[in-house]
Amino acid sequence: MEQTLILIQCRDEVGLVSSVSQVVARHGMNIITMREFVDETQSLFFARFVCTGLKHEADLIKNRLEEVLPKEALVKVHPPSTKKLAIMVTKEPHCLGDILVRHFFHTLGADVVCVLGNYEVLRSFTEKFGIPFHFVDHVGKNKEDFEKEIHRILLTYEPDYVVLAKFMRVLSPVFIKHYPGRIINIHHSFLPAFVGANPYKQAFVRGVKLIGATAHFVTDDLDEGPIIAQDIRPVNHTYKAEDMRRAGKEIEKSVLIKAISLILEDRVFMTGNKTVVFE
């Protein structure tokens, strides 16, 4: 039997789960799984329901839920579906490689529609997987023209999300506004530590005992968007900067793919500069 996914974000009040359950029951549906969270400091309610149901009833169920939920509730009702990803890269292949291999073996859970790079370095690798590669040179262009060219290409693919797989250019607020809550970045440290260039050299000089990576949504505040996933790995005095860099790349791959998986399964809610993640 087909499944219907219901996502709810609204002001908290007594009886919300009961109200949703009654709507679901009246449509002859059964709740298979339910995850809910109340942010008591903000009085906000978040919930993810997976139900048995029919695809054509989605709009009707959404309307019924909006009638019983608090005003201005955000409600999404749809069956799980394959989403489209556009990947943006510079020169480093490790994150892109992990994504494309998973895509090739149909374990990614999404359709990679294109790869855009501001260098040609990763073109031949990308095209081996049958994925279109678009080179957008940043040299000799101002940021506005550079980003307009990228945006024109993305418009032809209409991606659900844009993944910055080690794309080493800072995007402007103008560009980010085209994809609110839809650009995912992997940062080469456990934010907010070691922001900027040469993070592993910084970590080596500092003599850290843990290194990590952070996947987050991109906002106007550089590297300070809502965090989706993080991980760390212990290191010690025997690690040189290059050893830390190699270990860091492995963490970056795993954290980015975890963040992508959570988003593709609609398990991430944005709330201000934070996220609620139902793992």
Q: Using one digit for the tens of pLDDT, what is the confidence trace for 99-114?
A: 999 999 999 999 999 9
Q: How far, CA to CA in Å, does 163 sit from each of 14, 96, 99, 124, 232? A: 38, 10, 10, 19, 21
CB-CB neighbours of 112 under 10 Å: 23
Regarding whether 153 and 215 lie in a shared domain, the answer is yes
Which one of the listed residues 12, 160, 223, 231 is annotated catalytic?
223
What's the CA gap between 279 and 268, in Å, rounded?
Answer: 9
Regarding whether 242 and 159 lie in a shared domain, the answer is yes
Give me the amino acid identity at 277: V
Give me the amino acid identity at 240: K
Regarding whether 232 and 189 lie in a shared domain, the answer is yes
Considering the chain, what percentage of its residues have pLDDT values greater than 70? 95
Please provide the DSSP assignment of 23-52 as one string: HHHHTT-EEEEEEEEEETTTTEEEEEEEEE
Which of helix, strand or coil describes residue 94? Answer: helix
Regarding whether 181 and 65 lie in a shared domain, the answer is no
Looking at the predicted structure, is the pLDDT value of residue 55 above 70? Answer: no
Domain boundary pick from 78, 98, 113: 78
Regarding whether 150 and 102 lie in a shared domain, the answer is yes
- Tell me what pLDDT residue 218 has: 96
- Tell me what pLDDT residue 257 has: 98
Residue 58 — pLDDT band, cuts 50, 70, 90?
Answer: confident
Domain that holds residue 197: 83-277
Regarding whether 248 and 119 lie in a shared domain, the answer is yes
What's the CA gap between 147 and 174, in Å, rounded?
Answer: 9
pLDDT tens, 36-47? 999 999 999 999
pLDDT tens, 123-141? 999 999 999 999 999 999 9
Q: How far, CA to CA in Å, does 70 sit from each of 15, 39, 267, 268? A: 11, 16, 22, 21
pLDDT tens, 226-241? 999 999 989 899 998 8
Q: What is the DSSP code (8-state) at residue 172? A: P
- Tell me what pLDDT residue 40 has: 94
Pairing of strands 44-52, 3-11: antiparallel
Domain boundary pick from 25, 56, 78: 78
Regarding whether 208 and 170 lie in a shared domain, the answer is yes
What's the CA gap between 207 and 26, in Å, rounded?
Answer: 61
Residue 187 — pLDDT band, cuts 50, 70, 90?
Answer: confident
Considering the chain, what percentage of its residues have pLDDT values greater than 90? 75
Check if 223 is active-site. yes
Cα three-residue angle 265-151-188, rounded to 5 degrees: 55
- Tell me what pLDDT residue 135 has: 98
**Rounded to two decimals, what is the model's pTM?**
0.92
Looking at the predicted structure, is the pLDDT value of residue 170 above 70? Answer: yes
Query: Which residue, among 218, 185, 174, has the nearest Cα to 87 in the 3D structure?
Result: 185
Dihedral through CA 150, CA 154, CA 156, CA 161, nearest 10?
Answer: 180
- What CATH number does the domain containing 39 carry? 3.30.70.260
Regarding whether 53 and 35 lie in a shared domain, the answer is yes
Counting the structural domains of the chain, the total is 2
Domain boundary pick from 78, 103, 122: 78
Regarding whether 228 and 145 lie in a shared domain, the answer is yes
Regarding whether 97 and 26 lie in a shared domain, the answer is no
Regarding whether 261 and 161 lie in a shared domain, the answer is yes
For all residues of the chain together, what is the average pLDDT? 92
- Tell me what pLDDT residue 1 has: 65
Regarding whether 140 and 101 lie in a shared domain, the answer is yes
- What CATH number does the domain containing 259 carry? 3.40.50.170
- Tell me what pLDDT residue 64 has: 94
